[in-house]
Structure 1
Amino acid sequence: MDARTHLERLIRERGEDYAGLSRLIGRNAAYVQQYIKRGIPRRLAEEDRRLLARYFEVPEEWLGGPPAALELTESHVVVPQLDVGASAGPGALPDRERPRAHIAFDAGWLRRLGAGDFRKLSTIRVEGDSMAPTLADGDEILVDRSDAGERVRDGIYVLRMDEALIVKRLSVNPAARSVSIRSDNEVYPGWPDCPLNAIDLVGRVVWAGRRIG
C-alpha cells in the first residue's frame, strides 16, 4: 500500500477523523483530508509523518518514510542505501526513496559517531559541489533522521525544500529560534535567519564516504 492508502486505512480502522488528526499535527482542519483525497501535499512533511506514525504506533515507512535500518546481529546494523540524491547545489528532486543496496555498520562505531535511533539511519548520495571541499559530488552520506526537529544544532543537515532534498550547513540561533543555512563552497549564496519552524529537516549528516581514484 502507498502512504495515502495506509493512512486512510488506519483512520478508518481506528475510528479517527481527518480534522482531529490535522489538529494533532498543527495543521488546518482540512489538511489530512486534502492529502488523502486530493494528493496535496504530494508527501507528508518529515515532522508530520513522524507525529502520525508515533500516534498510530506504526513504522514511518508506512506513511511515506524511507525504510528503517535493520539489526543484522547484536554488533552490526544494516542501513538502507537509498536510491535518491541530496543536492549540494541548486536542488534535486527525489522521485524514488527505495533501497538500491544495504550497508552493514558496526553498532559500536555508530554509537561513537553519535548516531541516535539505528532504525532511522540511511545513506544517500551527494549531488553537486556547493558543500565542497567538505562533501564532494558522488559522496555517500549517512543521515540520522532521529537527529532533527527539537534536537537540531550546528552541523550539516539534509533538508527538504519544495520536494527537493538539499544538504547544507546550519548555524542555530536558539534565542531567536532561527537558523542560517549556508554552503561550504563560498561561490554559493546562503539564507540567513530562517525561522526554524519553516524548515523541513530530514536528518543530520553523521558520516561521509567517497570513492578514491
Structure 2
Amino acid sequence: MKATIVSIDSAMISTMVDYKERLEKAMKAAGVDITELARSVGVSYQAARKVLEGESKAFTAENNAKAAARLNVASDWLATGMGDMARNANSIVFSEENEDLVRIPLLANSGSMGKGNDTLDADYVVGDLALSAHWINQYIKPGNIRELKFIHAQGESMSPTFSDGDVLLVDVGSRDPASHEGVYVLDVHGQTFIKRVRMRMSGSLEVSSDNPNIKTVDELNGDHQVRVLGRVVWAWNGQKL
C-alpha cells in the first residue's frame, strides 16, 4: 500500500510540473503576468501563484478553459499537453526547436498604396518571420502577442522613418489613435495607407506623411470613411515607432 501511495504521488507531481511549465510558457508568449492571469481566471493571486510554483494541482477544467482563453492557447494542450499549443490554424506558430521563438505571419497586404482589406488577417498570409517572444515582450509590449502581423511598406511617403520595401511589424489590436499617437495602417476608400496620426487640441485627428518633400496633412473630422487596421510598432530598419 505504501509503495502504491508513493507511485501515485510521483505521478501527481510530474503532472503538476508539466502543467506549470506549459502555463509559464503560454504566459510568457502572451505577455501576461500572474496578477492578470489570476484576474482573468477568477482566482486569488495566491491560488495562481501556487499553481505556477507547483505547490498546487492544475486549475480546474473550468478555470483551465478561462486561462487558455486569456492566453490564447488550446485548452486541451494547456490541460494535458496533447495537440497543438495554438488555438487554431490562423494563430501564431510557436517554434518546436526554440520555445522562445514565435513565427509571426507575413501578410500580402502592403501600404501605403494598393487595394485595402477590412482587416489585416491570416487569410492573406504569404509566409512568416520568427521573433523572440522575450524580445517582443521587452521592446514591443503588445496587448496580445498573437495580434502582431508583418507587412511591407510601399512608397516613400514615410521616409526617412521607413522606406519602400521595409518590413513593418503591425499590432492589429492597437486601433485607437486618440489614446496612442503613432503610425497607423489605414483603409481609406478601399486603399491601404500608412500614415502618422495624432490628435489635435480640437479633438480631431491629423493624418500626415513623414517625408518633408511630399508632406501632406489631412484632418479627420468624422466625415471620412477611414478604418484603422493597426498600429506600426517597429520598422525593420531597427526603428521602434
Which interval holds the TM-score relative to the shorter structure? 0.5 to 0.7
Q: What one-letter code is carried by the residue in structure 1 that aligns with 2:104?
A: V
Among residues 166, 179, 184, which one is paired with 2:205 in the alignment? Answer: 179
Query: In proportion to residue count, which structure has more helix?
Result: 2
Q: Tell me the equivalent position of 1:45.
A: none
Among residues 46, 63, 77, which one is paired with 2:102 in the alignment? Answer: 77
Given that 1:127 and 1:138 are in contact with CA atoms closer than 8 Å, whether structure 2 keeps it comes out as yes
Q: Could you list the per-position Cα deviations for residues 64-119 of structure 1 after superposition, in whole angstroms to 9, with x for gaps in the alignment?
A: xxx442333642221000112111xxx31147952111111111111122222111
Given that 2:101 and 2:131 are in contact with CA atoms closer than 8 Å, whether structure 1 keeps it comes out as yes
Shift in Å at residue 151 of structure 1?
A: 7.0
Q: Could you list the per-position Cα deviations for residues 108-133 of structure 1 after superposition, in whole angstroms to 9, with x for gaps in the alignment?
A: 11112222211111100000000011
Cα distance change of structure 1 residues 71 and 154 upon mapping to structure 2, 3 Å threshold = same
Correspondence list, 1:201-212, <5 A:
201-210=228-237
Q: Distance in 2 between matches of 1:71 and 1:85?
A: 25
Given that 2:183 and 2:194 are in contact with CA atoms closer than 8 Å, whether structure 1 keeps it comes out as yes
Cα distance change of structure 1 residues 132 and 72 upon mapping to structure 2, 3 Å threshold = same
Identity percentage of aligned residues: 28
Given that 1:80 and 1:103 are in contact with CA atoms closer than 8 Å, whether structure 2 keeps it comes out as yes
Q: What one-letter code is carried by the residue in structure 2 that aligns with 1:70?
A: V
Among residues 154, 179, 186, which one is paired with 1:127 in the alignment? Answer: 154
Query: In proportion to residue count, which structure has more strand?
Result: 1
Correspondence list, 1:51-70, <5 A:
67-70=90-93
Q: Tell me the equivalent position of 1:86.
A: 111
Given that 1:179 and 1:195 are in contact with CA atoms closer than 8 Å, whether structure 2 keeps it comes out as no
Among residues 109, 112, 120, which one is paired with 2:135 in the alignment? Answer: 109
Which TM-score applies when normalising by structure 1?
A: 0.58
Cα distance change of structure 1 residues 172 and 72 upon mapping to structure 2, 3 Å threshold = farther
Q: What one-letter code is carried by the residue in structure 1 that aligns with 2:194?
A: V
Given that 2:150 and 2:167 are in contact with CA atoms closer than 8 Å, whether structure 1 keeps it comes out as yes
What 5-or-longer segments of structure 2 have no aligned partner?
A: 1-89
Q: Distance in 1 between matches of 2:104 and 2:125?
A: 9
RMSD of aligned residue pairs (Cα, Å): 2.7
Q: Distance in 2 between matches of 1:147 and 1:99?
A: 20
Aligned length: 141
Name which one, 1 or 2, has greater alpha-carbon Rg.
2
Q: Distance in 1 between matches of 2:95 and 2:221?
A: 40
SS at match of 1:111: helix
Stretch deviating more after TM superposition (194-203 or 183-192): 194-203
Cα distance change of structure 1 residues 152 and 77 upon mapping to structure 2, 3 Å threshold = farther
